Amino acid sequence: MTARAPGRVNLIGDHTDYNGGLCLPFAVPLVTTTTARVRGDDRIRVRSTAFPDPWTGRLADLTLDGRDGIPDWVRYVTGVLWAAREDGWPVPGLDLVVDSEIPLGSGLSSSAALECSVAVAVGTLTDQPLDPGSRLPLAELCRRAETEYVGAPTGGMDQLVSLLGTAGHALLIDFADTSVRQVPLPLHEDGLVVLVTDTGTPHQLAGTDSGYADRRAECDAAAAVLGLPRIGLAWPDDLSRLDDDVQRARARHVLSESARVEDVLRAVAGGDWAAVGNILTSSHASLRGDFAASTPALDLAVATAVDAGALGARLTGGGFGGSTIALVEEELADTVREAVDAAFADAELPAPTHVAVLPADGASVTRNG
């Protein structure tokens, strides 16, 4: 059987998920597919078209201690099987073949797409409930695979939107209580697209020495000073109680970013796309300044897109490399693309790649049997 799960862009709300704030991602029409077949023995065999060598192990290897000899990319798969077994799924010996249209490590969440496609494939084979109501715990299973098993401290947005995305909609996620709401996002109806620009500088989220892990630690430290479990639960007035300049700046980003998500919701409801664009660009300024999560290449892509006529632009998916998004009228998309290419060539940066996207559907089974 085969399952597919999409990547995502985050329209707005970056570094808010693990901080208990708001975000507004949507699934994109680029997918990872996993074809799964039950074997007659206790072996697990994993192959991906993105890597030359397959991996073979045993069900008994699916423990935290058993990770050590497993290649990094395989851990996104075995991590899901580990978490599924922890949740009581009767995982059998399996052959798993992975194929993806999503560039790896570019901020479009190939990692969550991989996890979710494996979870839906194996969930189907083992008769787990996969209806929309069952997808919150499924997303949590995939998040635990990435956080606790792979060791990448991601916040859960990517898995939720890969599983719950709906064409024509963004997914509002409130991480104060992990509640979700579908928000109509009539980009197509209003002649708009979101242009994703991959700057070609892969970000590295896994491990404790990444910028992402640093930011997470800084946010946790700020929350601890205020006696809160997560900094997104603070009030703006609380910021003055943070003596450390860095902690205060990180917290200011998280709180202002959640407020910008609410501003975008209002602007979208009012059909005011120019306002949406301006808020996206403000988000980038906050991620660059207060959160120090941008790079010169991301800044150049954003500034050039806005100069070339985009309504707004920002880094998406965490920063420290990866991709930007620009909200742009469909007929201007090529102009913006070409302007960014020219600016990158002038700056002697590698040529970026672009894809124009609209909100697509979340994970599903494409072939059962």
Nearer to ligand ADP, 48 or 294 (CB): 48
CA end-to-end distance (rounded Å), the chain: 5
User: How remote is the C-alpha of 83 from its chain's centroid?
Assistant: 19
Nearer to Mg ion, 108 or 328 (CB): 108
Of 34, 106, 111, 316, which one interacts with Mg ion (CB under 5 A)? 111
Q: Is the dihedral of CA 99, 355, 151, 162 positive or negative?
A: negative
Nearer to ligand ADP, 28 or 222 (CB): 28
Distance CA 79, CA 7 (A): 18
174 assigned to active site: no
Nearer to Mg ion, 51 or 59 (CB): 51
Q: Which residues contact 308 (CB under 8 A, 6 or more apart)?
A: 332, 335, 336, 339, 340
Of 10, 33, 48, 247, which one interacts with ligand ADP (CB under 6 A)? 48
Q: Which stretch binds ligand ADP (CB under 6 A): 58-66, 68-76, 130-138, 187-195?
A: 68-76
Q: In Å, what is the CA distance from 100 to each residue of 114, 150, 217, 229?
A: 8, 19, 32, 37
Q: Which helix (H) or strand (E) holds 333?
A: helix 333-346
- Taking residue 107's Cβ as centre, other Cβ atoms within 10 Å add up to 30
The residue assigned the tokens 């939720």 is: 160
- Looking at the DSSP bridge assignments, the partners of residue 22 are 174
Of 98, 130, 142, 325, which one interacts with ligand ADP (CB under 6 A)? 98
Structure-block tokens of residue 367: 């072939």
Nearer to Mg ion, 109 or 323 (CB): 109
Structure-block tokens of residue 299: 């800044």
Nearer to ligand ADP, 25 or 107 (CB): 107
- Using DSSP, state whether 292 is helix, strand or coil: coil
How many residues sit in the footprint of ligand ADP (CB under 6 A)?
21
Residue 283 interacts with Mg ion (CB under 5 A)?
A: no
Nearest-approach distance from CB 247 to ligand ADP, in angstroms:
26
Residue 149 interacts with ligand ADP (CB under 6 A)?
A: no
Sites for ligand ADP among residues 21-40 (CB under 6 A):
32
The residue assigned the tokens 């201690």 is: 65
- Which one of Mg ion, ligand ADP, none interacts with residue 117, CB within 5 to 8 A by kind? none
Active-site annotation holder among 17, 61, 158, 174? 158
Residue 205 interacts with ligand ADP (CB under 6 A)?
A: yes
Distance CA 79, CA 151 (A): 10
Taking alpha carbons only, the member of 8, 12, 13, 17 closest to residue 231 is 17
How many residues sit in the footprint of Mg ion (CB under 5 A)?
2
Q: Which stretch binds ligand ADP (CB under 6 A): 101-109, 272-280, 325-333, 342-350?
A: 101-109
Of 25, 107, 155, 312, which one interacts with ligand ADP (CB under 6 A)? 107
The site for ligand ADP (CB under 6 A) is made up of 32, 48, 50-51, 72-73, 76, 98, 100, 104-111, 114, 152, 205, 317
The site for Mg ion (CB under 5 A) is made up of 109, 111
